Amino acid sequence: MLIFVQIALVLAVIIVSVALMRGGSNARHLAIRRMMLIVFAIVAVLSIFFPGMLSTVANFFGVGRGTDLVLYGTIVSVLVFMSTTYQRFRHMEISTTKLARRIAIDEVPKPEVAAQAEVR
């Protein structure tokens, strides 16, 4: 049963990474992120009030302890955070490059102005 958990975690990492790298900040992605946050909050609250339930869920999936299950979930969460942060920084980098190019083009002196400056 442990191999199924491992395969499921790897598939989850691949699917989430591809989904987050693929799209931008449209309404669908924002809704998915909000739903994931709500699910995380509910699971976190339940695991705080009922710690035995976390161990039961871990045993159901073939993971030894509830803390191991939390560790696997944390690894997936960190990978999701890294991919979204990379995507955000990449988008900002592209925007900054476009802005810098636009400013450079706008600040080039016009040929007529440059010719008049040389005559003086």
Q: Which residue has the tokens 């695991």?
A: 47
What was the pLDDT predicted at 99?
97
What is the domain extent for residue 61? 2-119
Q: What is the DSSP string of 87-103?
A: HHHHHHHHHHHHHHHHH
State percent of the chain over pLDDT 70: 81
Cα 120 from Cα 111, distance rounded (Å): 15
State percent of the chain over pLDDT 90: 15
Over residues 61-107, the pLDDT tens digits come to 888 888 888 888 888 888 878 887 888 899 999 999 999 999 999 98
Question: Higher model confidence: residue 18 or residue 106?
Answer: 106
Is residue 1 predicted with pLDDT exceeding 70? no
- What is the number of domains present in the chain? 1
Q: What is the DSSP string of 34-57?
A: HHHHHHHHHHHHHHHH-HHHHHHH
Is residue 49 predicted with pLDDT exceeding 70? yes
